[in-house]
Amino acid sequence: MSPRTPKGQTRERIYRFVRGRLLEGLPPTVREVRDAFNFHAVETAREHLEQLVREGRLAKKKGKARGYGLPTGFKGDPVTIAIPLLGRVQAGELTTAVEDIEGYVPVQSRGTGDLFALTVRGESMTGAGIMPGDIAIVRHQPIANTGDIVVALVGDEATVKRLRIKKNAIELHPENPDFEPIVPDTNELVILGKVIEIRRYIEIPKV
Amino acid sequence: MSPRTPKGQTRERIYRFVRGRLLEGLPPTVREVRDAFNFHAVETAREHLEQLVREGRLAKKKGKARGYGLPTGFKGDPVTIAIPLLGRVQAGELTTAVEDIEGYVPVQSRGTGDLFALTVRGESMTGAGIMPGDIAIVRHQPIANTGDIVVALVGDEATVKRLRIKKNAIELHPENPDFEPIVPDTNELVILGKVIEIRRYIEIPKV
DNA sequence: TACATTACCAGACATTTGTCTGGTATGCAA
DNA sequence: TTGCATACCAGACAAATGTCTGGTAATGTA
């Protein structure tokens, strides 16, 4: 007999296990849950799963193989998708044309808008922990708030900076004392999107 | 008998059907494919699926329920998987058992070893662009090279540092002038793994 | 303490699901 | 024509998987 665990602790882990397996694409069977938690009885695993269903944290298709999953169609459920890693970000339209796609990056999305990724160039944001070569995950949106880190197009050049909205001007602030803020003409500034995540591939090459 | 369809046209639609079901989270059974395409025989659906596997467009887990999926885990092919985000990293062996898993993180892996993730604490590596709260993606391995950024266990505490192997000692170097290198006793040092990627979730909450 | 609840177990059973054997009809090429 | 491959079918079988019954022991609580 496995050692007993205090009140809902094991259940919490089982919930996360199931959720993780869903992200991997194949929901677990009851027996796979049993094995993952070193239970000796299938029923132990099933009772935990049924309890999670009663709590509303999991949903199930009765009698079906691998039928346990997240509650159906719940808004805000995280989903893993692949977003394009763009090479050059050029003026004007953001071309999701296939020619400029250098690869794909998996992200967990809650369906909150168009995402894309690009490689950071230059050292102007090292103070915020953003180094050259880092991958910025960006949500494509034309406006942003003061304090947001944004991808902006000034003239022909794409740049990652922190946005400061002043009374009379919009400023793009670096986070590195060696660089000066940029105060572009409003008509030559295009906000491409807001940086929502930074990644640094130390060893894994881009895909 | 259903009307015959010209050469691979039905197969193409079946491939799309399976792929669509995978995105929804639950791979189809052979019989579900049969019904979706109004076949009268299970075997018809299975033959199409097996043919797709032979063509390399699908993969399958033999004999397992809902075992058809996109090709995964082939040599060198990048695959998106979910790896556990560990809360506390405790002394002794790394329990990839479901203990202490705070969530899951999607990464593209080429099957090169066990991966896990953990949250960086402290400011000792800010000079390398690693900030507190960042997620470190780690490959579980007991040794590393000079210059690698590693997760090491000194006594009971897990820490992220740059590894320096000297003649007489192993040193763990911070990348922040406010911190001093750690020179642990060899017998109280355990290398848990090498950091291969850093992530910073600016907006997307952890999952 | 007594009692209910929880966590766990063992094993049988039922259903779902994958696999196999053998068959028919159509089109196509030698 | 003959032969072969393809697309489909019918039914049986085997394996995987969900479900049920009836337990034991630890834990929590009145």
C-alpha span between B201 and B207 (Å, rounded): 11
Say how far apart CA A42 and CA A37 lie, in whole Å: 11
User: Domains in chain A, ordered, with CATH?
Assistant: 9-69 (1.10.10.10), 79-199 (2.10.109.10)
Please compute the mean of the pLDDT values over residues A60-89 and round it to a whole number.
69
The reported pLDDT for the residue numbered A125 is: 92
N-to-C CA span, chain B? 48
B142 membership: H or E segment, kind and range = none
Q: Rounded to 5 degrees, what are φ and ψ at B164?
A: -130, 120
Residue-level pLDDT at B106: 75
| Average model confidence (pLDDT) across chain B | 79
How many residues belong to chain B? 207
Name the B residues in 57-116 with CB < 8 Å from any A CB: 61, 65-66, 69-70, 72, 78, 80-82, 84, 97-99, 101-110
- pLDDT of A139 > 80? The answer is yes
Q: Is residue A113's pLDDT more than 60?
A: yes
Q: Distance from A183 to chain B by nearest Cα, in Å?
A: 24
> What is the pLDDT at residue B157?
74
Instruction: Please tell me if residue B122 touches chain A, with a CB cutoff of 8 Å.
Output: no
What confidence tens digit (pLDDT) does each residue in A116-131 have? 888 888 888 999 999 9
Q: Is B184 helix (H, G, I), strand (E, B) or coil?
A: coil
pLDDT tens digits, one per residue of B127-144: 999 998 899 998 888 888
- The average confidence (pLDDT) of chain A is 79
| Number of C-beta neighbours around residue B180 at 10 A | 10
- Please tell me the least confidently modeled range out of A1-5, A83-87, B79-83: A1-5
Name the closest nucleotide to B33, judged by C1' and CA.
C17
Closest chain A CA to residue B105: A108
Contacts of A24 in chain B (CB under 8 A): 81-82
Comparing A98 with B41, the larger pLDDT belongs to B41
For an interface test with B, the pick among A5, A66, A85 (most B C-beta atoms closer than 10 Å) comes out as A66
The per-residue pLDDT for A66 is 92
Most confident of A48-57, A150-159, B113-122: A48-57
B chain contacts of residue A207, beta-carbon cutoff 8 Å: 78, 108
10 Å CB burial of residue B28 (0-12, 13-18, 19+) is buried
List, in sequence order, the alpha helices (H) in chain A.
9-24, 30-36, 42-54
Instruction: Give CA–CA dist B125/B174, Å, rounded.
Output: 5
Q: For nucleotide C8, give the residue with the nearest CA to its C1'.
A: A44
- All residues of chain A having their beta carbon less than 8 Å from the beta carbon of residue B203 are 139, 194, 196-197
Active site residues of B: 124, 161
A119-140: string of b/e by CB count within 10 Å (b at 16+)?
bbeeebbbbbbbbeebbbbbbe
pLDDT confidence of residue B87: 66
Confidence check: pLDDT of B69 > 90: no
Q: What is the DSSP letter of B186?
A: G
Residue with nearest Cα to nucleotide D10 C1': B41
Q: Name residue A12's amino acid.
A: E
Shortest CA gap A89–chain B (Å) = 21
Give per-residue pLDDT as tens, A174-206. 999 999 998 888 778 888 889 999 999 887 654
Do B202 and A197 count as a contact with CB atoms less than 8 A apart? yes
- The pLDDT of residue B41 is above 60: yes
Copy the structure tokens of residue A83: 């977003």
What would the pLDDT profile of B190-205 be if each residue is shown by its tens digit? 888 899 999 998 876 5
CA of A98 to C1' of C18 (A): 39
